[in-house]
Amino acid sequence: MSPMLTVPAGEPAARATDLTKVYGKGDTRVTALDAVSVDFARGRFTAVMGPSGSGKSTLMHCMAGLDSLSSGSARIGGVELASLTDRELTALRREKVGFVFQGFNLLPTQTALENMTLPLRLAGRKPDAAWLDTVVATVGLADRLAHRPAQLSGGQQQRVAVARALVSRPDIVFADEPTGNLDSRSGAEVLGFLRDSVRDLGQTVVMVTHDPVAAAHADRVVFLSDGRLVDELHEPGADAVLDRMLAFETPAAPTH
């Protein structure tokens, strides 16, 4: 592992400092993130919530190195993303970051096991057999490893995607609406496995969601509104999350 990937002890898994992201110029200029500062602690499950257009996914993409910043700082461990070359950024994402997306993003011709281990194979690495067994047991797919995505339910496909994010033992997993395409039962399964990965495997998870029930699985919920960090809850219940969301989303009275 190269020196730039060494993470100092005691650092949060990820940190944003005055992170600002602006799209467009002039009349089309939109400030998606406005000087956001937030830490994501190691071994914790954080949900990011806010109204549509509040900057949730933009924050995750900037923190994961998938989008550039306009100003401010984004760090994974002690590594400043803006200081990296494209090659170094690719290596950091491959070695330190896991992703779970709403659309599963599985290869249809590959088995569940092949999909799980794909990032390692692309990096020319072999999975740690004991860790792979642990991850497979955590997501409950030991009897589905030879199945292709079309032979799996939506919940099982998303669990494969969760396992794929965990197999490389990343410092942090970013999940963007991971239950958005799932029914309530399958969504609850996936949230349970993300929760288990934090509790049993020491994983760090940051999840963007609009669902208060999903957010209630997290240790902490941070709220964005108009590109700014406006509130947070610790050990949240679904009712408390919903109340907070409704406060942000209450529309102004119409004028006639």
Domain annotation covers residue 28: no
Please check the confidence at residue 253 and state whether its pLDDT lies above 50: no
Identity of the residue numbered 53: G
CATH number at residue 197: 3.40.50.300
pLDDT higher at 129 or 247: 129
Domain annotation covers residue 256: no
pLDDT higher at 256 or 16: 16
CA distances (Å), origin 252, targets 159, 210, 245, 247: 40, 21, 15, 11
In the predicted model, what is the mean pLDDT of residues 188-194?
A: 85
Q: How far apart are CA 20 and CA 228, in angstroms?
A: 9
Domain that includes residue 230, residue range: 43-55+94-248
Please check the confidence at residue 7 and state whether its pLDDT lies above 50: no
Q: What is the pTM of this model?
A: 0.85
Q: State pLDDT tens for residues 144-187.
A: 999 999 999 888 898 899 889 888 888 899 998 888 877 888 88
Domain annotation covers residue 204: yes
What confidence score (pLDDT) does residue 138 get?
79
Domain annotation covers residue 31: no
Domain annotation covers residue 225: yes
Domain annotation covers residue 133: yes
Please check the confidence at residue 218 and state whether its pLDDT lies above 90: yes
Radius of gyration of the chain (CA): 18
Domain annotation covers residue 20: no
Domain annotation covers residue 210: yes
Length of the chain: 256
Overall domain count for the chain: 1
Identity of the residue numbered 239: D
The kind and range of the H/E element at 172 are strand 172-176
Helices 154-167 and 112-122: angle between axes, nearest 10 degrees: 30
Q: State pLDDT tens for residues 29-68.
A: 999 999 999 999 999 999 999 888 899 989 999 999 989 9
Band of pLDDT at residue 100, cut at 50, 70 and 90: confident
